[in-house]
Structure 1
Amino acid sequence: MMRAGLLSHTISLQRATEEVSAAGTVLTTWADFATVRAEMVTHSVADAGMAFGEAAKASLVLRIRHYHGLTSDDRLIFRGQAYGITNLLELGRRVMELHCEVLK
């Protein structure tokens, strides 16, 4: 059971749409399809070794009320930053846990 008082953050869920420009190129744009309240479970920033130096890798785990049709192909906006959904877990019938990583 999820308590409403824990849903202290607002996130926007986005889905990719493809459009063909007048020049014939395919453009991928992201459009909001829902705005929901979320509980932050964890938020971490880790330094990940990359081939060309160090890079910060931010990840977070959020819980939301179940949203039918949400997939890992979608993304979310949290505090102005885009996050890709890496894993979706259903916790019972009413709660979803979203594991996300920052998109650059």
Structure 2
Amino acid sequence: MMRAGKLNRVIFLDRLTAPLNENRTPVPAWTNIATLRAEVLQHSIDEAEADNGERDTDSISFRTRFFTGLTTADRIRFMGRTYNVKGWTEIGIRGGLEIKAVAA
């Protein structure tokens, strides 16, 4: 059971769309598809080796009420940062979602 008092953060789910401009040409744009209350389960910044040295990896996990239609192409805006959705786990039978994301 998810306790409402733990959902003390607000996250914004965005999806890439391609509305038409005045010349009827598709222009990619991020559109907000949902605003959800969430709990931050884990937020970590790790240093990892990359091709040209080291880089920081900012990863975060959220728990929120169930949301239909989430994909890994979506992104999350939280506290001024943008995170790419990497995966999610359904909690119970449509009881909630645990979303894993990495900073864009």
TM over 0.5: yes
- TM-score after normalising by structure 1: 0.89
Distance 1:12 1:80 in 2: 11
**Which residues of structure 2 form unaligned runs of 5+?**
none
Instruction: Give runs of aligned pairs for residues 46-57 of structure 1, distance below 5 A.
Output: 46-57=46-57
Q: Give how far 1:27 is off.
A: 3.2
Deviations 1:40-82 (A, max 9, x none): 1100000111111211110011000001111222111011111
* Partner SS for 1:5: helix
* Partner SS for 2:27: strand
The equivalent residue for 1:80 is: 80
Aligned-residue Cα RMSD (Å) equals 1.5
Q: Give how far 1:18 is off.
A: 1.7
Task: Give me the identity figure in percent.
Answer: 34
Q: 1:29 is matched by which residue type in structure 2?
A: A
- TM-score after normalising by structure 2: 0.89
Q: 1:70 is matched by which residue type in structure 2?
A: L
Runs of 4+ residues deviating >2 angstroms: 19-24
Alignment: residue pair count: 102
Distance 1:95 1:64 in 2: 6
Q: Give how far 1:88 is off.
A: 1.1
* Partner SS for 2:72: coil
**Which residues of structure 1 form unaligned runs of 5+?**
none
Q: Hey, which of these two has a bigger chunk of strand by percent?
A: 1
